[in-house]
Amino acid sequence: MSQILEIKKLYKKFNHQVIAQDLSLTVSQGDIISIMGKSGIGKTTLLRMIAGLEKPDEGIIIIDHKIVNEDFFSIEPFKRGIGFVFQNATLWPHMTMSENINFALSEAYHDKKNEIIRLLGIQAIMEKYPDEVSEGEGKRVSVARAICSGAKLLLMDEPFSNLDSETKLELIDLIKALHQKTGLSILLVSHNIDENKAMANQIYELSDGALYEKKI
Ligand SMILES: Nc1ncnc2c1ncn2[C@@H]1O[C@H](COP(=O)(O)OP(=O)(O)OP(=O)(O)O)[C@@H](O)[C@H]1O
Ligand SMILES: [Mg+2]
């Protein structure tokens, strides 16, 4: 199966704190992989390194067969072909929800955009600005934006936090349906074992700078 993400021998420290130490990971096309781990262990930092928002000390990151990080070489985040949903929804503050989604919209999602917005239940807030919506609403818009970008790899950092359980289950079903339709690959960070079991085909624990496979 085609590999969408390869991380080889990744090292990262903040002062003396080890985040990654000889860390390797492969995500194949269609995988949904979840990463768990204690608060402050480095899960967000790992996603930020894949996204190009944080520089590793050492290591190679390959996305869709293209090296995006090696030694002093680093490709900018928006050129990496990934969509991301971070812990705190990171929408452009000067754009409405609709403009935020359109900003990243790929050709392939023109026709599907309205259906995704409807499924996420965000039609009514499309003309609002980020400081006029709740955290959960902002999160759902950033999920819509990431999916509509047409990226082959989605990075999601606790995408279901701050959502009520009904919305959470709906969103999980929606993402799984889109995943089946499109062959999208997802790398997810979540503390919740039930969410992980519902979503992921593989679960890892990040500990002491390395990933350990957990049996589902
Ligand atoms: N830019 C930075 N400079 C120095 N230390 C940092 C920086 N960013 C993060 N850290 C530290 O690195 C560690 C890992 O942070 P990170 O946000 O990756 O943890 P996490 O596993 O995502 O935690 P949580 O589950 O609470 O979100 C933390 O101790 C944090 O304080
Ligand atoms: Mg985090």
Q: For residues 187 and 82, what is the distance between their CA atoms, to the nearest angstrom?
A: 11
- Cβ of 203 closer than 6 Å to ligand 1, yes or no, is no
d(C-alpha 109, C-alpha 116), whole Å: 9
Residues 121-136: tens digit of each pLDDT: 899 999 999 999 987 8
pTM here is 0.91
Q: Is 39 in the pocket of ligand 1 (CB under 6 A)?
A: yes
In whole angstroms, give the CA distance from residue 216 to residue 195.
Answer: 12
Whose tokens are 């519902």? That residue is: 198
> Distance of CA 146 to CAs 73, 103, 176, Å?
25, 11, 14
Nearest Cα to Cα of residue 146 among 129, 163, 171 = 171
Q: What are the DSSP E strand ranges found in 124-201?
A: 153-157, 185-189
Per-residue model confidence as pLDDT tens digits over 140-185:
899 899 989 989 899 999 888 777 888 788 888 888 887 887 788 9
* CA-closest candidate to residue 31, choices 178, 172, 185, 156: 185
**CA 117 / ligand 1 centre spacing (Å):** 32
Q: What is the DSSP letter of 2?
A: -
Fold (topology level) of 3-214: Rossmann fold (3.40.50)
Domain-by-domain residue ranges, the chain?
Answer: 3-214
Q: Point out which residues pair with 32 in neighbouring strands.
A: 186
How many Å apart are CA 216 and CA 170, to the nearest integer? Answer: 22
Q: How far is the CA of 75 from the centre of ligand 1 (A)?
A: 22
Say yes or no: CB of residue 45 within 6 Å of ligand 1.
Answer: yes
Q: Is the CB of 192 under 6 A from ligand 1?
A: no
Partnered with residue 25 across adjacent β-strands are 7
pLDDT band, residue 89 (cuts 50/70/90): low
Percent of the chain with pLDDT over 70: 99
**Of ligand 1's atoms, which has the minimum distance to the CA of residue 206?**
21
3-class SS at 165? helix
